Amino acid sequence: MAEFDPGSLPDLLPLYYRRIFPFGPYGRWLLYSDVSKNYFQRREFSFTLHDDIYVRYQSFNTPQELEKEIQKTCPYKIDIGAVYSHRPIQHNTVHMGAFQAQEKELVFDIDMTDYDDVRQCCRSAEICSKCWTLMTLAIRIIDRALVEDFGIEHRLWVYSGRRGVHCWVCDDSVRKWSTTLRSAAVEYLTLVKGGEETIKKVILSDPIHPFIRESLNVVKEYFEEYALVGQDILGNKESYDKVLALVPENILWGYFERRGAWDSLGRMVLLRETLQKEFCKKRNSIQRWELLKNKTEKFSKVQWEIMLQYCFPRLDINVSKGINHLLKSPFSVHPKTGRISVPIDLQKLDSFDPFAVPTISQLCHELDKTGNDRGDEERNEGELENPRRNRDHKKTSLAPYVKVFERFLEEMDRSQKEESPKASDVQMDF
C-alpha cells in the first residue's frame, strides 16, 4: 500500500479530482432534483486551498461548473454550507440583512477528542480499533432515534477521514427546519453535559425517558467488550477511582444505613471506601463491575449513569443548530491522514474499519497500476471523455464507498417518486 505523505498532496489532488472524485452522483445529490428555483445555484461551497487559504461563499450555476472549478483550484478541503436567499458569490452586492441562510441538511458532527476524559487507549487526534467502538455506538444510538423517534428517512453517515463521523439528514422537510427546531433536536439527543471541570456529566431523572432506555439497550450490547475489556475502566486504582467518583454519596450513605453497615468504632462505612478495598481483591474490570452492580442493585440508575457517561454520543451542538454552519464534504481528502471522507454502510457498521479507508496516495497508485489500456480502448470506441473519467473510481478501492452513496441516492429518488404531492412536515415531541 502506498504510504501517504502530506507533502505529496499538490501532485495527487489534480489526478484525484480529474479521474476519481465521483462528481456524477455528488452533483445529483446536491441538486435534489431541482426541488426549487436555483436551489443548487444558491448553495454555498467553501474551499481550503494550499497554505491554508480559505475561500468562502463560492457558488456555481451547475454541478459541471463546480467540477471545473474544483479541478482548477484543487482544494485541500471542501466544505458544504447552506442554501441562501441569494447566490453566495453575490453576497457582497446584496443589501445588508437580505442575504439569509434558508435551508440546509440537519448535520451532526461527532469527534473522538470529545471523549478524551473516558478513553484509556488514545488521546487528542489519535484513534485505534478499541475506541472506534464509540463511533459505532454513536451512529447506532443517533440513527435509531432519527428513524424511530423523529420519523426521518434519509441519513448519510460519513467518516471524517481522521477521528470522527458526520451525519447528513437530507429529508425535504428537515432541510427547511429553523434554528429553533434544530436546537430542539440536538438537545433531545444530548445527555452528556458539562466541561472538563465537571466530574459527573450524566444525571438521569425519573421516569427514564424512552430515548434513554433505548440508548441503554444499545450500550449494554457493547459495554463489557468495549469498556471493561477494551478500555479496562476498572483496571487500576486511578481508573476505578474515576468511576467511583460518579456514584452519588447520598445514595451510598442511605444504602448502608438501611443495611446497618457500621465499622468497629460505630462509624458508618461509605460504599466507595468499601469498594476500593474489595476491588483490590478482584482480578479485572469485569469482576469489579460485577461487584459494583451487586452493591448498587437497588440503585440501577447509578450503573446506567456510569455506562452512559462512558459510552453515550457526544455531539457538537453548534454544528447542528446553525443553518449557515459549514461541514466537510463527503469524498473530501483529509490533509493530515490523506484518507477520503467516505460514506459508511449502516448494514456493515460493526465491521467498518477507519484504517481500511483508502488514502489519496493509495487510490492514485491503484489507478496508475491499472495502466492506460482500458482508457485507450474506450477512446478508440469513441466514448465521451466525461463518462469514461467518471467511472475511473471503479478501478480503485473507493468503488464500494461510492456504491453506498449511490444506494443512498436511489432511496431518496424512490422516496421522492412515491411521495404525495402534498408536502408533509415531520411531527415530533421533545
Biggest CA-to-CA distance, the chain: 96
> What pairs with residue 106 in β-bridges?
169
**Interstrand relation of 101-103 and 77-84 (parallel, antiparallel or unpaired):** antiparallel
46: nearest Cα among 69, 17, 78: 78
CB 130 within 8 A of CB 230: yes
**Is 232 part of the annotated catalytic residue set?**
no
Scan for cell 455506562, then name that residue.
Answer: 307
**Catalytic annotation, pick one of 111, 114, 171, 316:** 111
**Is 111 part of the annotated catalytic residue set?**
yes
**Is 44 part of the annotated catalytic residue set?**
yes
229 CB-near residues (< 8 Å, 6+ apart)? 285, 286
DSSP-derived secondary structure for 210-273: HHHHHHHHHHHHHHIIIIIIIS-TTSSHHHHHHHHTTS-HHHHHHHHHHHT-B-TTSPBPPHHH
Scan for cell 473516558, then name that residue.
Answer: 118
**Catalytic annotation, pick one of 79, 105, 109, 171:** 109
- Rounded CA-CA distance 228/339 in Å is 30
Lookup: cell for 281:
481483591
**Catalytic annotation, pick one of 44, 79, 171, 305:** 44
- Active site positions, annotated: 44, 109, 111
